[in-house]
A and B are shown apart, each in its own frame.
Chain A
Amino acid sequence: MYGWLSVLDSSLLRSRWFSFGLLALGLALLPFLIDAGLGRSWVRLLDLALLYVMLALGLNIVVGYAGLLDLGYVAFYALGAYVYAWLASPHFGLHLPFWAILPLGAALAGMFGVLLGAPTLRLRGDYLAIVTLGFGEIIRIFMNNLNAPFNLTNGPQGINLIDPVRLGSTSLSQPLTVFGYTFSGVHLTYYLFLVLVMAVIFISMRLENSRIGRAWVAIREDEIAAAATGINTRNLKLLAFAMGATFGGLAGGLFASFQGFISPESFNLMESIMILCMIVLGGMGHIPGVIFGALLLTLLPEALRYTGEWQRSAFGQIYIDPADLRMLLFGVALVAVMLYRPAGLIPSARRRQEFADAKQ
């Protein structure tokens, strides 16, 4: 009898590993397929999309789980990026290795998450949103103006010539030849980002179904009841801010190394709002939804750039500037999602049920 069970087990296990292997193979080949089909610039965009997935998952902990509406999230992204730039560029003449800077930037961003969260603990909803929005802007304005008396950030010009990630003797900005096959820099970057995004997804998933994740959701649902049920709401809110900010800082460091150049312009309020939109559009508090939202909102606007060419070939001239069209469609898409799929494009089973119940 037990023999039968073990056969069943192993075949189940095998099929699970099989689908997992298929997924891994697909993800591994993806940059090559995109490279062949759409061109190298799209691989670069894919790298960027992975960064946004990381950012969105980080913000999802704060907004989706703990229910703390944070409009200044980009500040942590900026912090991570600047820490990387300071420690790995000619700006201060420091060139530390990435494996030392990335954790440092993420940890520093996490600390700022706590510092920033602490004064807002008593605030909720709109009030919290306004204060965090202010914090986000403060960081950006600091970065914009800290070029005097001591040139810390190089002001609006930003910091240039940031070191790319270097693994041993390979730099991710250079092509790498293995067994006669050449991997370009953007491909290598893709694999690094993919691994880190996987780690962030894994951490998010584990946290979601844990004592900590339940406590966050309880705070989101009813803070007073959560406190009366034994949850130290202060500590858990700070933990949510810290975790979210850590992911933001990590993404920031990767962004700096990837672009090689950062300036305060990259970290404006619009970025915070975009990341929030990714969560809302995809499905708040639901990891697959958030990932989908992040990919969609990074890739779709780029795809719309092609409409300029189509217009030119169809009508001989461009009637609607693709950049305008992007914002227009983006607005329409958001309104449509709010009307027809208020729980997001890929809502969690729980939220779906909730909205279905509300309709009855």
Chain B
Amino acid sequence: MSTLLTVSRVSKAFGGLQALSDISLSVNTSEIFGLIGPNGAGKTTLFNALTGLYSTDSGEVLLHDKRLDNRPPHQVLKAGLARTFQNIRLFAEMTALENVLVGRHARTSSGVIGAVLRLPATRREEADSRERAHALLSRVGIAQHANRLAKNLPYGDQRRLEIARALATEPSLLALDEPAAGMNPAERSALRELLLQLQADGLTLLLIEHDVKLVMGLCTRLAVLDYGVKIAEGTPDVVSRDPKVIAAYLGDEAL
């Protein structure tokens, strides 16, 4: 099994707050890697540092042996790391289809001249993008909403749309920040199916999730963060028995 993402000794401080200290982990190809920890543990901060939204103070992030740390977000994405957001960030006033089409931006190249003159290459590219976008909407199960504004979609479908948009960028690693947040049980199990399908298709997933049941059932391996420090890593079985993890979640008295 080959390593896809290597994070080594990444640190990030906001003023006096050490949000991440010396975080190291590696994600293998085609696995679902979970990132868990109590609120404020630094999970989203790590995501932001990985995807170029935050700069890092030290450390290295490698995807396919390509440095990602301190690169602008669009370059991180182009290297193959796509993400979704904890609080859904869709382009609210664009249709679902258009949202996915924006995801094609990094993998297409036509410019102003091509668009104005509608050159053959541009037309081919546009047709191909549309075809892929429709296919992705069907894939995540919201083909019927293609022409609705993103903001008018039901909550669960907005999450799906965000995943479709990320998939449109042809990532090798997809980072999902609490994809099940706010979903009802039916939506959760549908999401679970979707994520397993994506894994079966060869995609690697990095998952922040609060729903322990979902994480334990889905992830091949987990890392646990607490106060910006990685306190455990391993299979769900091992991690869930780790005294440090139990202490972080339930308090020291629980031991």
Contact = CB atoms under 8 A, between A and B. Distances in A.
Are A and B a genuine interacting pair, yes or no? yes
Interface residues of A, number: 31
Contact of B92 (A211, A221, A229, A230): A221
Interface string B93-127: 11100100111111110111011111000100110
Interface string B155-186: 00000000001100100000000000000000
B72 interface: yes
A224 B117 CA distance: 30
Given A214-B98, A228-B51, 11 more contacts: A211-B104, A211-B108, A212-B111, A215-B102, A218-B102, A224-B53, A225-B85, A228-B85, A232-B72, A351-B93, A357-B151
B105 A210 contact: no
B225 interface: no
Interface of A: 202-203, 206-207, 210-215, 217-218, 221-222, 224-233, 239, 243, 350-351, 353-354, 357
Interface stretch (B12-20, B73-81, B138-146, B246-254): B73-81
A229 B93 contact: no
B222 interface: no
Given A221-B92, A353-B149, A227 B74 contact: yes
A218 to B, nearest CB: 5
A203 B116 contact: yes
Contacts of A214: 94, 98, 101-102, 105
A227 B151 CA distance: 19
Interface in B233-247: none
Contacts, number: 114
Interface of B: 51-53, 72-74, 77-78, 82-83, 85, 89-95, 98, 101-108, 110-112, 114-118, 122, 125-126, 129, 149, 151-152, 165-166, 169
A231 B125 CA distance: 17
B43 to A, nearest CB: 16
Given A211-B108, A212-B115, A357 B91 contact: no
A34 B166 CA distance: 54
Contacts of A217: 91, 93-94, 98
B136 to A, nearest CB: 13
